Amino acid sequence: MAKQPAAESQSLSREDIYLFHEGNFFHSYRMFGAHLTAENGREGVRFTVWAPNAVSVGVATDRNGWDGSADPLEAVPDSGGIWSAFIEGIGYGDLYKYAIESITGERLLKADPYGAYAEIRPNTASRVGSVDGYEWGDQAWRRKRRAPYAKPMNIYEMQLGTWRQKDDGTFYTYRELADVLIPYVKEMGYTHLEFMPLTEYPYDLSWGYQATGYFAPTSRYGEAKDLMYLIDRCHQADIGVLLDWVPGHFAKDAHGLRQFDGTPQYEYADPMLAEKPGWGTLSFDFGKPEVQSFLISSALYWMDVFHFDGLRIDAVTSMLRLDFEKKPHQWRPNEHGGVENVDAIEFLRKLNRTIFAYYPNAIMAAEESSAWPNVTAPAHEGGLGFNYKWNMGWMNDTLKYMETWFDERPSLHNLLTFPLVYAHSENFMLPLSHDEVVHGKKSLLDKMPGLYEEKFAGLRLLLGYQITHPGKKLLFMGGEFGQFIEWKDEEQLDWLLLDYEAHRQMRTYTAALNHFYLEEKALWEIDHEWEGYDWISASDAGQSVITFMRKGKKSGDTLYVLINFRPIAYEDYRIGVDKPGTYKEVFNSDDPRFGGGGMLNSGTIRAEKAEWHGREYNIPVKLPALGMVVLKKGGRSGDTPNSAIEIEPAEPAPKRKAAAKKTAAAKKEETPKKKTTAKKAKTDETAAATKKSSVKKKTASESALQPKSDEAEAN
């Protein structure tokens, strides 16, 4: 191991001790753990640990035969169970555990809860680490960070060990990934990376969601400074980086936090509160002040030390609800007779107040799968204080619809329209995450019904629908090129599929779509306000078509979006528009470059003076089977559609047969010549409710767009 410079020791002050036990020692990692230092001219390590019910604590190392009595820690007087000592001669990379004697006489060997470095699994010792001394080059990125709401956010979610592996099956290191990952992300047009959990964890197949080290980046991919280098390089390339962080529960492994000093220390003492039976893990005791100091310090640590731009908080619903995935005999109501975990609610509010006090423009995203209200409203207004929530309702409805056979889609049209009723009730992210491509759920591509070509058209449609729907975006790795089988959580993605034209074209499409998103302000500038969305028609259930507008602050940025969810093309599909003049196609998922049939709207389209969809004018559009067309007003005939990214043209695919042109009488209504059915009436009601909701000026999410009020409260 390279020798690390020793810093002068920082002693644990009485104020630190007080704040720790009050739940307000938000940088406790600076004092607890193992810190290389010099005391009285001697170099070594200052060890500090909280073990309130221990009889004795020592540092067990390979140099003392793992006998902690050889290097004992001293109980800090009047500290509430804090133990500390300076031990000379221990250096960077040396192995250690805490040897703890419990009140029952049991002898435990525990990894350091605040350890900054860990052995590579299956070994479980902590190592003396250091996070000091890295020279950052991302100052320009950090200076220009602003509130994320009126900016594009398109996140590429990834698991570092299975994105790409070396020829021999070993992992790329954090440092090596910088050279292969960053160019790919830039080429594909993503704005952010989200890493699945990197807090040290013992079992590969937990994917990091069952952690043992909340301050140690996993050693699978290198050391702390290697991770810093990766994030630094991302920032220098204008890529934000988020971390999936798991405060809801922790692993039961013997070397971890469970019964740390021989008693329930980090977990609830009550098994009905502590046990997560579905996952085989334990819940943190969110009401214990020392646990609050520990967890909030961990959250800040990843931002302070590693410069992460924000956190995605895993399994928030499991924290909020006492009955989460439990049978009736496995939980009991709170003192008010409800299912709410009051401790967890208050902890989350405190966490978010603290984060925004230090990092006003951070991203704090909740994976909250229920209809819990005001997740993204400020804590002082009764919300949980996040500034983003994963829209699990949109995800479930959308995937259910997309997996349905084409002829059955008209009966499920409300799955496309209902999400707009609540689309602005929170600040939403639209996730197509790892959870949707595992455990027999099939890959996104394989979820799509139909023939081979129709599956790819369906995936293009799904991603196009996501990009044009209100909310920030997230896609799990592999979806961008059509991974055909589920995520293999021990092997790399099937990059060999790019040897096949259809998958190359799929990746070309995703890159073009992402760059189109970046260029079009209407897709993100007023993303969280009703003024940014307007239905043209939500009621064409019979043909499984939706049409709508996305708007920016300037009228000239408005986009007109048509999405056809059935494998039937229309040569003349009319939509109502408000203004005369010409319109041009700016994106079409059926472009031959993307593997489509080539049904494009070339040149310009002139609006006709005839009412349609309650609007004064209308335009005729060629709408491809399983296709998305996006138009913009004011184009010139020489403009080239889909110019967001230069991509080598692909061989055109055979055109699908278009449906016959409609008669003049039929042109006045794009839906089939059937009487209005109950299902259609219900869809019309949904559209009306959506439009009615759009006049509401004050929503919970509107307040959440201003986290600074929370910052003042936290300060």
- 462-484 tens-digit pLDDT: 999 999 999 999 999 999 999 99
CB atoms within 10 A of CB 77: 6
- pLDDT-based confidence at 441, cuts 50/70/90? very high
Higher pLDDT, 239 or 699: 239
Catalytic residue among 16, 223, 343, 367: 367
Integer Cα distance of 706 and 703 in angstroms:
6
Q: What's the average model confidence in pLDDT over 527-554?
A: 96
Please give the pLDDT value at position 670: 37
Please give the pLDDT value at position 64: 93
Question: Which of 425, 376, 418 lies closest to 396 in space, CA to CA?
Answer: 418
Checking if the pLDDT of 405 tops 70, the result is: yes
Checking if the pLDDT of 228 tops 80, the result is: yes
User: In terms of C-beta distances under 8 Å and separation of at least 24 residues, what long-range contacts does 358-362 make, across chains too?
Assistant: 358/26, 358/300, 358/303, 358/304, 359/303, 359/310, 360/147, 360/707, 360/708, 360/711, 361/145, 361/146, 361/147, 361/148, 362/303, 362/309, 362/310, 362/311, 362/387
Q: Does 314 participate in catalysis according to the annotation?
A: yes
- 92-104 tens-digit pLDDT: 999 999 999 999 9
Please give the pLDDT value at position 12: 84
> Burial level of 278, CB count in 10 A (0-12/13-18/19+)?
exposed
Question: Which of 402, 206, 193 lies closest to 312 in space, CA to CA?
Answer: 193
Higher pLDDT, 652 or 590: 590
Are 358 and 305 contacting, i.e. CB atoms less than 8 angstroms apart? no
Q: What's the average model confidence in pLDDT over 501-517?
A: 98
> Using N-to-C axis directions, what is the helix angle for 501-519 and 174-188, rounded to 10°?
80
Catalytic residue among 112, 261, 275, 314: 314
Checking if the pLDDT of 677 tops 90, the result is: no
pTM: 0.88
Q: Does 367 participate in catalysis according to the annotation?
A: yes
pLDDT cut 70: percent of the chain above it: 87
User: In terms of C-beta distances under 8 Å and separation of at least 24 residues, what long-range contacts does 454-457 make, across chains too?
Assistant: 454/567, 454/626, 456/482, 456/502, 456/505, 456/506, 456/595, 457/567, 457/589, 457/590, 457/595, 457/596, 457/625, 457/626, 457/627
Please give the pLDDT value at position 634: 87
Pairing of strands 533-540, 95-101: unpaired
Please give the pLDDT value at position 11: 73
Please give the pLDDT value at position 512: 98
